[in-house]
Amino acid sequence: MALRLVSLSLSVFITLLLSQCATAAQDVTCSGMVPVRWRRESISIADFGGVGDGVTLNTWPFRKAIYRIEHLRRRGGTLLYIPAGVWLTGNFNLTSHMTLYLARGAVIKATQDTWNWPLVDPLPSYGRGRELPGGRYASFIQGNGLRDVIITGERGIIDGQGEVWWNMWRQRSLRFTRPNLLEFMHSREIHISNVVFKNSPFWNIHPVYCSNVVIRYVSIVAPYDSPNTDGIDPDSSSSVCIEDSFISTGDDMVAVKSGWDEYGIAYGRPSSGITIRRVTGSTPFSGIAIGSETSGGVEDVVVENINLYNTGIGIHIKTNVGRGGYIRNVKISDVSMNKVRKGIRIAGDVGDHPDGGFSQHAIPVVDGVTIKNVWGVGVEQPGSIQGIKNSPFTRICLSNVKLWGVGSRPSALWKCMDVSGAALGVQPWPCAELTTTFGTGGLCSGAI
């Protein structure tokens, strides 16, 4: 088949790069770990028989185009251009050294044919599907063992058409765990930007066992009542940068994970070096979450400049007996909340178990959590910190946290138990378990 070069304007791509560089110059950013690379070759989905009429199924055109990229191995990689139009397709795999570029007006839309959706093995750190025993449905767009993959464009849309899956969940007619919208496994140097993710069947963006991942300038949207539609879930992954994005879904906006109970403990891959910055959004569940699946451990997490509204729990750190693992060195700052049910929750009794094989002796450790410069209005309950009796949470440090009630009503009281740490400038005052010792040698020395 004779291939024609895509008429992707060089000026458009340069404009995209310059806009990102301009923003990076103004704001602190971690996105430089995976830059947007220019590809020497560009091909179009239309070159492979793709039809963007919203009716024609384009599964084979997508698979053929990516097969060509994988096997010709052009130096510098290849850009797959998706023109304006609605490109209906089944699930497909990406390959290394490629860019998936969605033009303005381009929509990649998932077929609603659930009966022919392929199955994949469960994740080893979960031991089974997250929702049901056995395997799981393959993600709509996925990659395994890849390097140097970019998904970007001009605010094109990836639409999972998740309603059919949500209804199956509500009706309890699912056979296996629902598909994610986008999942990378065992991959590195992943860059995702300037794309809208819409109506995921399950979790939206799921990097698992990955490193060097940048997710920036994305919008992730799903109805407020869509079940388990987490926005971004870095899972047993390291060096992940999430910035400058809007997320409004039916479950946690961002949730850092690392495996589930005995399977996560055995797999033993932590999540570390996670940065979450300048994210705005709304959810009936958690805005920024760690857990509850943290059995491989979570450490070195930085969260800053977050804007939450109409949200269930603003900041939620959650684990449970049987998880094992640890949560440590978490720094959260500069968070604003408006109309939030609970401002801060750090809890050791959250989350279910994959089976009866978990150990009651697998007690998680939570140590070194600093939360500062938090402002909230319309907060029904300021927070709770409830550790585990045989493993109290330690060095929990709150500074300049102001959480005001709804209207003229003051906020309710904090609830604390099995915790030690410190608090300074917190309104309403949190609890007696947190001292005011921040100076040299204090519990929060150097943390604030």
**Catalytic site residue from 47, 235, 251, 367:** 251
- Phi, psi (degrees; rounded to nearest 5) at 106: -85, 135
The answer to whether 295 and 260 have CB atoms below 8 angstroms apart is yes
The answer to whether 105 and 84 have CB atoms below 8 angstroms apart is yes
Strand partners, 344: 315, 383
Please tell me whether the peptide bond between 201 and the residue prior to it is cis, using omega within 30 degrees of 0: no
Buried b (16+ CB within 10 A) or exposed e, 402-441: bbbbeeeeebbebebebbbbbbbebebebbebbeebbeee
The answer to whether 107 and 157 have CB atoms below 8 angstroms apart is yes
The answer to whether 292 and 351 have CB atoms below 8 angstroms apart is yes
C-alpha distances (whole Å) from 78 to each of 43, 70, 106, 151, 438 are 7, 9, 19, 12, 54
CA distance 82 to 108: 8
DSSP for 160-223 reads --THHHHHHHHTT--SSBPPPSEEEES-EEEEEESEEEE--SS-SEEEES-EEEEEES-EEE--
Question: If you count DSSP H runs as helices and E runs as strands, how many of each does the chain have, helices first?
Answer: 4, 28
CA distance 297 to 326: 5
Nearest to 279 by CA among 257, 238, 311: 311
The answer to whether 140 and 179 have CB atoms below 8 angstroms apart is yes
Give catalytic status of residue 251 as yes or no. Answer: yes
Helix intervals (H) in 247-370:
261-267
The letter for the amino acid at 185 is M
CA distance 240 to 379: 30
Residue 64, both tokens: 């053929």
CA distance 319 to 352: 10
CA distance 151 to 190: 8
Long-range contacts, stretch 386-389, CB < 8 angstroms, 24+ apart: 386/346, 386/347, 386/348, 386/349, 386/415, 386/416, 386/417, 386/418, 386/419, 387/346, 387/348, 387/417, 387/418, 387/419, 388/321, 388/348, 388/349, 388/363, 388/364, 388/418, 389/418
* Catalytic residue IDs: 251
